[in-house]
Amino acid sequence: MSVFGLNDVSVRFGGRRRSVEALRGVDLVIEEHERWGIVGESGSGKTTLLKLLAGLEAPTSGSLTFFDAALDLRRRETMAKLRSSVQMVFQDPRGSLDPRMTIADIVAEPLRSPLLRGRGDVPRDRAARVDEVLEAVGLDRSAKSLYPHEFSGGQRQRIALARALAPRPKILLADEPVSALDVSVRAHVLNLVNDLVDSMGLTLVMVTHDLAVVRHTCDHVGVLRHGQLVEVGATGEVMDHPRQAYTKELINAVARLDV
Amino acid sequence: MKKLTVIIGLVCSGLVVVAALVSLVWTPFDPRKVDGPARFAPPGWPHVLGTDAFGIDTASRLLVGAQTTLLVGVVAVALAAVIGVPLGVFVGMGHRIAGEVVARASDILFALPALLLAILLAAALGASVTTAAVAIGIATIPVFQRMARAATLTVMSQDYILAAQVSGIPGGVIAIRHVLPNITPVLGVQAAASFSMAILAEAGLSYLGLSAPQSTPTWGRMLHDANLYAAPIQAVIPGVAIAVAVLGFNLLGDGVRDYLDPRMKELR
């Protein structure tokens, strides 16, 4: 059973006269437990694709399925299913953590979602679950009463990761999860993502401009250019034998990240 | 420098609050007692700040007037905030058509001066401090509505809102848990500024006789009653009191913003 299926999906922004096509005729199937890296330059439509999967954006044309059922932003049941099994990590943890909430409140927030009530495996004891996920991302319990500004960038991204994992999601969406971090902590956070995706059996869809990150974390890669998916395949294959000139360019443009 | 303004603000607004509190239990003379022979007494003893045209002790009226001043500020700001803030947040969080309706209604209200509203209300309900405060409050609603809307738009563009939406947190909960706490500092500053504006407006309305009747001691009324030929000092005293209160609450507003922002704690 595929987690996400995109069939000829296009997303257009703006009015009739001046519209921007963020995605054009994208076909993509993401199976369970796969780790996808979507690569592209800024403006290639990566973030739009991720928002589509997160149910924050609707396709202008084409169809989108979630566990083989059509995903419609207006239909409650499918959206409830999506919202209770998908979590997202954002690029800049300064903006993705509410500056006025304590870490305990931030991490516990997804557990308060009314959509989780229908799920049996949801942690009942919020405080215990917060402790659990904070430990899983390598943060001390004393962090709970502090505010986001009291942490470094890497630590904040760990907090964001803890929040995403708290409700035991099936799918993790990540929007450039390490791009805003210092080079020195990128590898740590990426390894953490790897380990957690492994141990929790997640499906990962990560968007990035950095092929080195994809090579390190993902088993499948899709290359986006001007809203079109120009190359799709297993990471090793695409990296070693790129079929498109554009993919070659991207590969040659990045230095390898040794981790 | 920053600290100095906050201290001045605290001292000035503190003076008004202390005056109001003291007047609840003690005033040098009865602030309503007419004493013909003592009229137009210059500042001295026993009338520290002199007396007005009716021989009423000015110091006593000034102290009791602080109560009215604070009452007007609190009622006007509370009324404006209680109606304006939820409207602004609601509009800022989405709904386009509702937003348009609220924005236009706000414009209409904004175009109506507090003075006109006060005349209207005074005509309908009779001139009193309460009608003046309510009129000022209603006229201030658009200010809070717009400020809350603008601040809400900023908050709604943050990723932590997306994170909450991805989890399926309902809009109402997002409004209370994320939006309100994050727009509070901006609104706090606005509240302080509106507080001083309300004080000034009430003084103006009192001066025009649209607020308190003669028997209620207010600073605007004192200005109104002052006889510039016989005792010009009687106009200066309430004038200075109004200026101190307005300045105090304005400066305090800046301090409130810094205090409410947890990120500013590092800088203190």
Q: Name the residue range of residue A118's domain.
A: 2-253
Q: Do A92 and B159 touch (CB under 8 A)?
A: yes
pLDDT of the residue at B151 = 95
pLDDT score of B137: 94
A163 touches chain B (CB under 8 A): yes
Residues of chain B in contact with residue A160, where contact means CB-CB under 8 angstroms, are 163
Residue A248 belongs to a domain: yes
Domain containing B6 equals: 2-267
Give the DSSP H/E element, type plus range, for residue A206.
strand A203-208
Q: pLDDT, tens digit, for every residue of A205-248?
A: 999 988 888 988 999 999 999 999 999 999 989 988 888 888 88
pLDDT of B172 above 90: yes
The CATH number of the domain holding residue A38 is 3.40.50.300
Residue A114 maps to a domain: yes
- The segments of chain A whose pLDDT lies below 70 read 16, 118, 254-259
Name the residue with higher pLDDT: A124 or B247. Answer: B247
pLDDT tens across B129-152, in order? 888 899 999 999 999 999 999 999
Q: Is A68 domain-assigned? A: yes
Q: Report if residue A227 sits inside a domain.
A: yes
Residue B268 pLDDT: 42
| Optimal mutation site among B154, B157, B162, B166, interface A, most CBs of chain A within 10 A | B166
Whether A259 is covered by a domain: the verdict is: no
Cβ atoms of B83 and B141 within 8 Å: the answer is yes
Q: How far apart are CA A220 and CA A228, in angstroms?
A: 17
Residue percentage of chain A with pLDDT more than 90: 62
Average pLDDT, chain A: 89
High-pLDDT (> 70) share of chain A, %: 96
pLDDT reading at B265 higher than 60: no
Mean pLDDT over B182-194 rounds to 90
A residues 39-58 closer than 8 Å to B (CB)? 54-56
Q: Give B89→chain A minimum CA distance, Å.
A: 17
State residue A196's pLDDT score.
93
Interface size, chain A vs chain B, as Cβ–Cβ contacts under 8 Å: 73
Give the C-alpha separation, A92 to A83, whole Å: 22
pLDDT tens for each residue of A84-106: 899 999 999 889 999 999 999 99
Residues B72 and B248: beta-carbon distance below 8 Å: no
Tell me which H or E stretch contains A61.
strand A61-66
Q: Is the pLDDT of residue B1 over 70?
A: no
Query: Which residues lie closer than 8 Å to B203 by C-beta, 6 or more apart?
Result: B218, B219, B220, B223, B238, B242
Give dist(CA B60, CA B40) in Å, integer: 15
Give the three-state DSSP class for B107.
helix
Q: B165 CB contacts (<8 Å, ≥6 apart)? A: A56, B174
H or E, element range at A9:
strand A2-14
User: Of the candidates A92, A114, A163, which has its C-beta nearest B168's C-beta?
Assistant: A114
For this complex, say whether ipTM is above 0.95: no
Residue B173: what residue type? V
Q: Per DSSP, what are the bridge partners of residue A2?
A: A31
Q: The domain spanning residue B82 has which CATH number?
A: 1.10.3720.10
Write the pLDDT tens digit of every residue in B76-131. 999 999 999 999 999 999 777 878 888 888 888 888 877 788 888 888 888 888 88
Please check whether residue A258 lies inside any domain of the structure: no
> Tokens in use for A81?
């299913």
Indicate the number of domains in chain A: 1
pLDDT at A73: 84
Residues of B in contact with A87 (CB under 8 A): 166-167
In which element (H, E) is residue A190 found? helix A183-200
Q: Is residue A84 included in any domain, yes or no?
A: yes
DSSP single-letter state for residue B42: P
Q: How far apart are CA B15 and CA B234, in angstroms?
A: 20
Would you list the DSSP string of B176-232?
Answer: IIIIHHHHHHHHHHHHHHHHHHHHHHHHHHHHTTSS--TTS--HHHHHHH--TTT-T
CA distance B9 to B12: 5
The predicted structure's pLDDT at residue A257? 53
Q: How far is CA A132 from the centre of its chain?
A: 21
